[in-house]
Amino acid sequence: MGDNRLMTITLWRRLLAEFTGTALLVTAVVGSGIMATTLSPDDVGLQLLENSIATAFALAVLIMMFGPVSGAHFNPVVSAADWFLGRRAGTGLTPRDLGGYVVAQVLGAIVGSVLANLMFDLAAVGFSGKDRVAGHLWLGEVVATAGLILLVFALARSGRAPAAPAAVGAYIGAAYWFTSSTSFANPAVTIGRAFTDTFAGIAPASVPGFVVAQVVGLAVGIGLLAALYPDAGAAAERVVVPTDEDATVNHRS
């Protein structure tokens, strides 16, 4: 079991993990979308299948890679929920940490799109022309985001956080198909995807509506958690992936 000594992970290391993880996630989303349209140019359904499988697998692997360092949030709504739910128990992110996480995630998402564009010999930045402005798409984002928040914190609260890589990857992969919006569920990723005029892109003018819907989904998810798991905040420090028992991370360092 070890001596359970308290170790701290400095903020800059956690921010680097969030930046790198989010960048690689968006690279996977955008890059697999470009590859899908190249390999299956006349079949949109197959393109979405290829894109969703690559995204789900990449997300699971990235959570395992970076979870022990930063919690592998890669998502401002997850970080915001971690701060909000853990603030009373002193278990979640501090306000300073939250601000740093959000900035790192947004910058990482933009870099991820640029990297994917360059890998496929496209212009580094090509703003998307794909309009996604419609009430049913916003509703899809509310559903996708609320479900993600509920999943992540329910796993932590019930002691099943080690299953997060597989569970979160599976949820996002499935939500590609059961939501009208194909489940962005992430403000940082939404912003990043505006920087690529490819299969996974979203027009800059469509970004605010998606982000507002995701914030609403965050509120719905927190409300459901309050009803189903009233003490979910006590597990905020175990989101998304808990550290080893012998290296408990103090998120407030």
pLDDT band of 242, cuts 50, 70, 90: low
Find out whether 200 and 193 touch, Cβ atoms under 8 Å: yes
Q: What local confidence, expressed as pLDDT, does residue 216 receive?
A: 98
**DSSP secondary structure, 197-246, as one string:** -STT---GGGHHHHHHHHHHHHHHHHHHHHHH-TTGGGGGGG-SSPPPTT
DSSP 121: T
Nearest in space to 110 (alpha carbons), one of 11, 29, 215, 216: 29
pLDDT, tens digit (0-9, with 9 covering 90-100), for 115-169:
999 999 999 999 999 999 999 999 999 999 999 999 999 998 888 888 999 999 9
Q: Would residue 1 count as lying in a domain?
A: no
How far is it, in rounded angstroms, from Cα 124 to Cα 248? 40
Q: Which of 81-90, 180-189, 206-215 shows the lowest per-residue confidence on average (mean pLDDT)?
A: 81-90
Q: Would residue 175 count as lying in a domain?
A: yes
Residue range of the domain that includes 30: 6-249
How far is it, in rounded angstroms, from Cα 130 to Cα 107? 21
Q: Would residue 32 count as lying in a domain?
A: yes
Q: Where are the beta strands (DSSP E) in 112-195?
A: none
Q: What local confidence, expressed as pLDDT, does residue 249 receive?
A: 41
Give exposure, 47-56, as e/b (b: 16+ Cβ within 10 Å): bbbbbbebbb
Q: Would residue 71 count as lying in a domain?
A: yes
Over residues 177-203, mean pLDDT = 98
pLDDT, tens digit (0-9, with 9 covering 90-100), for 40-58:
999 999 999 999 999 999 9
Q: What local confidence, expressed as pLDDT, does residue 115 receive?
A: 98
Q: Would residue 147 count as lying in a domain?
A: yes
Structure tokens at 8: 């701290």
Please give the biggest Cα pair distance in the chain.
58
The count of structural domains within the chain is 1
* CA distances in angstroms from 230 to 35, 52, 89, 92, 154, listed in the order given: 44, 33, 12, 15, 11
Over residues 165-187, mean pLDDT = 97
pLDDT at 247 over 90: no
pLDDT, tens digit (0-9, with 9 covering 90-100), for 9-20:
899 999 999 999
Q: What local confidence, expressed as pLDDT, does residue 160 receive?
A: 87
Structure tokens at 30: 């955008």
Q: Would residue 194 count as lying in a domain?
A: yes
Q: Would residue 57 count as lying in a domain?
A: yes
DSSP 163: G
Q: Which of 92-101, 150-159, 231-240 shows the lowest per-residue confidence on average (mean pLDDT)?
A: 231-240
Over residues 27-43, mean pLDDT = 97
pLDDT at 239 over 90: no
Q: Would residue 193 count as lying in a domain?
A: yes
Query: What is the value of pTM for the model shown?
Result: 0.90
- Residue that has been written with the tokens 């949030």 in this structure: 73
3-state secondary structure 53-100: HHHHHHHHHHHHHHHHHHCCCCCHHHHHHHHHHHCCCCCCCCHHHHHH
Q: Regarding predicted confidence, which is higher, 183 or 244?
A: 183
Q: Which of 44-53, 184-193, 229-238 shows the lowest per-residue confidence on average (mean pLDDT)?
A: 229-238
The CATH number covering residue 213 comes to: 1.20.1080.10
